[in-house]
Amino acid sequence: MNALPGGRFRLPLLMVLALGLAVGSFWLLEILHKDRGAPESTAARSAPDYYVQKFEFIRMNENGQPRYRISGAKLLHYPLDNSSEIEAPVINQLQKDKPPMMIRADRARIEDENSKTHMHGNVVVDRPATPMAQYFHLESEYLLVLPDEDIVETDQPVHILFGQSVLDGTGMYANNATREFRLASRVHGTYRAPPR
């Protein structure tokens, strides 16, 4: 008679333990699955979500007039930080009230809502002579371009032809809109005053 009451409690106890083991196993599998899936999810988001070959992008000003054009051999867009990588980028200044300028490089990275363009490798800037400005040619390995502000700058060495002058230095700031120009350090070259 004593074995019967103990048997009644053993079966429900075994069922509760089995149910707890099943729930615990399911919970553990879910955690392992989430941990395994997280890197794939991050990797998927850090991969490009689209690419464009032989593209051209024209930015307009508030009056609907062309401001500048960016073109290149290939553009890759990354959704994780909304940035773009460009092969063989070319930036052309299109505003009629400012001296035209062209910037090209081996590659570029565009970020911060298209407000910053980092040009890398064999960077060349050309601005032809105009009645208001002398011929300008720059060579460097890196250039930060702020196209909406018409500013280019670098902390790298630069080689510059400015009219008839030749300048070399490290670190540079140039504002195409105001024609302000500065070299930061290690400056040397030959200056020739522009003809009057």
pLDDT above 70 for 177: yes
Question: How much is the pTM?
Answer: 0.71
51 token code pair: 């690419």
Strand residue runs (E) in the chain:
50-60, 66-78, 83-87, 90-93, 102-104, 107-111, 116-127, 136-146, 151-162, 165-175, 180-190
71 token code pair: 């073109």
Nearest C-alpha neighbor of 103 from the set 135, 67, 65, 71: 71
pLDDT above 90 for 76: yes
24 token code pair: 């615990």
The residue ranking higher by pLDDT, 100 or 17, is: 100
Cα separation, 95 vs 66, in Å, equals: 6
- Residue 1 has a pLDDT of 45
- Residue 173 has a pLDDT of 94
Strand partners, 172: 154, 183
| HEC secondary structure over 31-88 | HHHHHHHHHHHHHHHHCCCEEEEEEEEEEECCCCCEEEEEEEEEEEEECCCCEEEEEC
